[in-house]
Amino acid sequence: MLDSPVDVDTRWQQFAPDLDPAKLLFSEVIPGGCHWSWTLPRGTALRLTALQPGANLSLVLYAAREKLERYNMPDSLKAQHTAHYTRGHVLMSDMGRSMASIISDSLGWHDPLGLLLDARRLHEKYGTHDYQSFRNGMYRSGRDGLLIEIGKYGLSRRDLIAPVNFFSKVTVDEDGCFHYLPQHSPAGASVDLRLDIDVIVAVSAAPHPLDPRPDYAPSPVGVAVWRSGVAPADDYCRAFRPENARALYNSDLQYLA
DSSP state string for 30-78: E-TT-EEEEEE-TTEEEEEEESSTT--EEEEEEESS-TT-BB-HHHHHH
Whether the Cβ atoms of residue 196 and residue 101 lie closer than 8 Å to each other: yes
Judge whether 213 and 191 are in contact, CB under 8 Å. Answer: no
- Asked if the structure places residue 45 within a domain, the reply is yes
Residue 29 covered by a domain: no
Residue 140 belongs to a domain: yes
Q: Does residue 20 lie within any of the structural domains?
A: no
Position 18 in a domain:
no
pTM beyond 0.85: the answer is: yes
- Note whether residue 83 is domain-resident: yes
d(CA 70, CA 198): 11
Instruction: Give the CA count within 13 Å in the CB-facing half-sphere of 5.
Output: 20
Answer yes or no: is 139 within a domain.
yes
Taking the C-alpha atoms of 142, 143, 145 and 151 in order, what is their torsion angle to the nearest 10 degrees?
160
pLDDT at 248 (0 to 100):
98
Question: Count of domains in the chain?
Answer: 1
Name which of 123, 126, 147 is nearest 212 in CA terms. 126
Residue 99 domain boundaries: 38-253
**68 within domain boundaries:** yes
pLDDT of residue 135: 76
| Helices 242-253 and 73-80, packing angle to 10 deg | 130
DSSP SS3 for 249: helix
pLDDT at 131: 67
Name the 3-class secondary structure at 190. Answer: strand
d(CA 132, CA 119) in angstroms, rounded, equals 16
Print pLDDT tens along the chain (257 aa).
455 555 557 889 999 999 999 999 999 999 999 999 999 999 999 999 999 999 999 999 999 999 999 999 999 999 999 999 999 999 999 999 999 999 999 999 999 999 999 999 999 999 887 767 677 778 999 999 999 999 999 999 999 999 999 999 999 888 889 999 998 999 999 999 999 999 999 999 999 999 999 999 999 999 999 999 999 999 999 999 999 999 999 999 999 97
Contact 92, 254 (CB under 8 A): no
Q: Which of 35, 52, 29, 54 shows the shortest CA–CA distance to 168? A: 54
Residues in the chain: 257
Q: First-to-last CA distance in the chain?
A: 17
